[in-house]
Structure 1
Amino acid sequence: MKMPRIECESCGRGIAAGPVAGRPSKGRVWRHDPPQRSTVHGDALVSCHGSLAIVDLPLPTQQLELAVDETPDDDSSETLPLF
């Protein structure tokens, strides 16, 4: 699955964002290092402050909307409950 790339709000890098369960228009930015981690922090593992943030995904991942007919059926008075 190809994931959309989102610009990290903290460091400005283009990072992949995976979908968040139950929220079709939202994604979570993957964990990533700040651009100059090795010069500032040496060999320490330091994540960017924008890692794992929840962001809006681009439009191709919208939830499908179904058209619902709002007119009631004339035969609804003859239906019996099952339980």
Structure 2
Amino acid sequence: MMDVLVIGGSRYFGKHVIEQLLAAGVRVTVVNRGSAAAPAGTTHLVADRDDEAALRAALGSRTFDAVLDQVCYTPRQADIAARVFDGRTGR
């Protein structure tokens, strides 16, 4: 089974992407700040993606086949994601 992490995804088009992933039999983990519940059928992790240490702690030793980043708005966020997901995902 494919394992995908979605950063954000609890609102707007992210909810629809997650619905499609779940319908396709994908195991979905959602990470967000906890201000909105993750869709049913997902694993929910709470962390602020701007806090590198908190994001690493929330992920623990988890690895993913792919990461879909719904909320990468700044170069700093992209740098944090690149460091945190290095060696954790194929895509």
Greater Rg, structure 1 or structure 2?
A: 1
Relative contact order: is structure 1 or structure 2 higher (C-alpha 8 Å, sep ≥ 6)?
2
- State whether TM-score is above 0.5: no
TM score, norm. by length of structure 2: 0.24
Greater fraction of residues in helix: 2
